[in-house]
Amino acid sequence: MLDIKEIRRDPERVAKAVGRRGKEIDMKPFLEADEKSRQITVKVEELQAQRNAKSKEIGTLKRNGENADALMQEVSAINEEIKKLEAAKEADEKIVHDFIISLPNMPDDSIPDGGEDDYEVQRTWGEPRQFDFDAKAHWDLGESLNILDFNRAAKVTGSRFVFYKGLGARLERALISFMIDMHTDKHGYTELIPPYMTNSTSDFGTGQLPKFAEDMFHLENTDYYLIPTAEVPVTNYHRDEILSEKDLPVKYCAFSPCFRSEAGSAGRDTRGIIRQHQFHKVEMVKLAHPDHSWEELESLTHDAEDILQALGLPYRVIALAAGDIGFSSAKTYDLEVWLPSYNTYREISSCSNFVDFQARRANLRFRDADGKVRFVHTLNGSGLAVGRTLSAIIENYQNADGSITIPEALLPYMHGYTEIR
C-alpha cells in the first residue's frame, strides 16, 4: 500500500509512476473524496466544540433551576448534523480506502518500461546442452520411467495435477531437502514450516486480496485461503509487530505446497508440471532495513542462483519491465532455467523487493537507533520452484537410453541412487 501522505503531496508523480505499468490512473475521485473527508472532519470538530459549550450551558441552567429546552433542542440539532456529516465522511473515506488499496506499487526507476517482452537480460550462466540424440520432454520421460503419473491424477482430482511416484517422489523430496539445507546452512536463513492456510488479513497484507481473489482457493464458510506461496504466511509472521533495528535483516526460508487456480492461464503449459494447481516451492523472505533493501535484493537473487549453479542447470537472470512486475513489487528479477523441450528459458524463480508496500498493509515495523518506528522493507524469492527444478533436471540430465542421471549435488539425498532408469 502506498503512503497516503505521498499521494497527497505529489499525486501527479504517483500517477505517472504507477502508469508505467501500462494503465492510466485517474486521481480525481480520490483527491475529491479525500478533500471532502478532511473538510468534514474540520466541520465535525467545530460542531462538537459548539455542542460541548452548549452542553455546559445546559448544565449551568439546570443547576440554577432555569429552563434549558431551547439549548437542548440546539444540541439535538447539532447531533443530527454531526450524524449526517459522519455518514458522508464514511462514504468518502471508503472511496479513499478502496482507491489506495487498489493501487499497485510504484515501479523502481531502475527497471525498464514496457511489458512482458521488454525485460533486460542481466546475466546468463552455463551453456544449454547440445544433445546427440532426440531429447524428450519431461512429461514423456516421466511417464516412460513411471515416476510421473498425470492420468491417474486427473482421475483422482482433475487436470493440472500429478502423482510423483517411486524415484520421482524421492527426487522431489531430495530437491526440497537440498534447497532448505543450502539456504539454512550456507545462506543463513532460519527455516519455518508455515500453515498452508491463511486468513484474509494475511492475504491482504501481502497483496493477494482483494485484487487477486480469483487466483486463490477459498475454503467455503471460513475466512481461510489455501496459500498460493509460503510468502504469505512467512511475511505475515511478524505482522503488527515492532522489530529491533539490530535484528535486521530477518531472513526466513520455508518449504510448502502452493495452491493456485491459474485463472486466466487457459491453454498455457497444459502438458507437464510447469503450471499446476498444486506444486511445491521453497521460499525465501527477508525483512530488511530500508537503507539496505536493494543490496538485500541482489543477495537474495544470488542465493537462488546458487541452487541452480550447484545443480549445474543453465539459466539467465532478467529484470522485468514495469508492466510485467507483480502488484506489490517495486522491482523483480526472474531466474529462467533452460528447458530443452521448450528450446528456451522458463521462469523458475522470481526475486522481488516490495520496499514498504507490503509492510504498510501488514503493519510490519522496526524501531531505529533514534527510537523512531519505521516500516521495514519486505523481499521474497523462490529458492526454487521444486517441480520446475525437477522438470529441468529430467530434461537436462537425460540420456540416450531414456535414463536420467542424478546431479552430483543431490546424491547425498538419494540413498545410493545415481540414476533413474
The candidate with the shortest Cα–Cα distance to 324, out of 58, 29, 20, is 20
Secondary-structure percent of the chain, ordered helix, strand, coil, rounded to 5 = 45, 20, 35
How many Cα atoms within 13 Å fall on the side-chain side of residue 229?
21
The pLDDT assigned to 263 comes to 72
Is 275 a residue of the active site?
Answer: yes
Say which of 239, 299, 347, 374 is annotated catalytic: 347
Say which of 275, 316, 346, 367 is annotated catalytic: 275
Is 347 a residue of the active site?
Answer: yes
Is 152 a residue of the active site?
Answer: no
The candidate with the shortest Cα–Cα distance to 224, out of 248, 208, 241, is 208
Q: How far apart are CA 34 and CA 117, in angstroms?
A: 38
For 132-230, where are the alpha helices, taking DSSP H only?
Answer: 138-144, 150-156, 167-181, 200-206
Is 350 a residue of the active site?
Answer: yes
First to last CA, the chain: 51
The pLDDT assigned to 264 comes to 66
Question: Parallel, antiparallel, or unpaired for β 331-339 and 250-259?
Answer: unpaired
Segment 162-165 long-range contacts (CB within 8 Å, at least 24 positions apart)? 162/273, 162/276, 162/387
Say which of 350, 352, 382, 391 is annotated catalytic: 350
Is 421 a residue of the active site?
Answer: no
The pLDDT assigned to 270 comes to 78
Partner residues linked to 285 by β-bridges: 252, 380
Buried b or exposed e, range 338-350, using 16+ CB within 10 angstroms: bbbbeeebbebbb
The pLDDT assigned to 266 comes to 66
| DSSP designation for 214 | G
Say which of 170, 260, 361, 365 is annotated catalytic: 260
The pLDDT assigned to 3 comes to 97
The pLDDT profile of the chain, 421 residues, written as one tens digit per residue, is 999 999 999 999 999 999 999 999 999 999 999 999 999 999 999 999 999 999 999 999 999 999 999 999 999 999 999 999 999 999 999 999 999 999 999 999 999 999 999 999 999 999 999 999 999 999 999 999 999 999 999 999 999 999 999 999 999 999 999 999 999 999 999 999 999 999 999 999 999 999 999 999 999 999 999 999 999 999 999 999 999 999 999 999 999 999 999 876 667 777 899 999 999 999 999 999 999 999 999 999 999 999 999 999 999 999 999 999 999 999 999 999 999 999 999 999 999 999 999 999 999 999 999 999 999 999 999 999 999 999 999 999 999 999 999 999 999 999 999 999 9
Q: Which residue carries 502488484 as its cell?
A: 327
Say which of 51, 361, 365, 388 is annotated catalytic: 388
